[in-house]
Amino acid sequence: MEIERKIKLSSGYEIPVLALGTWQTPADTASKVVMDAIEVGYRHIDTAIAYGNEVGVGEGIKRSGISRENLFITSKIPAEVKNYEDAKKCIDESLERLGLDYLDLMLIHAPKPWAVMWLPITKNYDKGNLEVWKALIEARDAGKIKSIGVSNFKIKDIENLINNTNEVPAVNQILLHIGKVDKDLIEYCKSKNIEIEAYSPMGTGRLIKNAKIKEIADKYNVTVPQLCIKYTLDLGTISLPKTTHKEFMIQNMAVDFELKEEDKELLNKMKFFI
């Protein structure tokens, strides 16, 4: 089953290819959501400082009764943090909120603060990203984090880190779904042995109502979310579907079907600006 499949990161650690994303999961329900996910079979939980739900995620992990070494937990340093000291503080505070001795993976959430992330001309944040990267490297070497990576980074942002530190991110977590596939970025990451994580594989829910995608899903007697998740997995990425409902968690695990090449081609030709 895909829920049980793992791949090895360049850091040497294994990561489950299917995770529970917790973006927009309210802090007061995060504990139950995470506990439910672990109960039905998820072993990879993705959170972030910016989500404001680390305490709840940590409570869910603790209440699940599953031993720590059988779980893969990811968090992220906020996009607004672009200096060494604040990054160090974020790492320690994240561990404290989650109630963990170590994180399996920690990422720089974005190469720029969110307020300017999508603006065409902004201040250069290369130096700040290097400071945060240095804090992550030190935390990894100290045993606080097993693997380190980035999120929403483009090729030039990744090269800034590699060229100045000789440290290659284990992961780049990006927005990836049917109709939005950055082939150049994926190929570049593949060439550097950087695994791609696909967040919002359902296009933040907007693909669910797409008639063309539903038509293909119906051919396989699966839901649109199942098709969307399968699509990202078939691209060789790690998929991070988000849901707070136990029944959908179970559905999202059931992606052990094979897409025909002609249907993959139809999906590959779709373009959505989400």
**Are 34 and 64 spatial neighbours (Cβ–Cβ below 8 Å)?**
yes
The alpha carbon of 65 is separated from its chain's Cα centroid by a whole number of angstroms, namely 24
| Amino acid at the residue 18 | L
Residue 259's H or E segment, with its range, is none
Q: Which two tokens stand for residue 255?
A: 């992606």
**Are 84 and 134 spatial neighbours (Cβ–Cβ below 8 Å)?**
yes
Residue 196's H or E segment, with its range, is strand 195-199
In angstroms, rounded to a whole number, what is the distance separating the alpha carbons of residues 21 and 200?
Answer: 8
Exposure of 261 by Cβ count < 10 A (0-12 exposed, 13-18 middle, 19+ buried)? exposed
In angstroms, rounded to a whole number, what is the distance separating the alpha carbons of residues 109 and 32?
Answer: 25
Backbone dihedral angles phi then psi of residue 148, each to the nearest 5 degrees: -125, 150
**51 belongs to the catalytic site:** yes
How would DSSP label each residue in 90-131?
Answer: HHHHHHHHHT-S-EEEEEE--SS-GGGTT-SS----HHHHHH
Out of 51, 125, 199, 231, pick the active-site residue. 51
Among all residues, which ones are annotated catalytic? 51
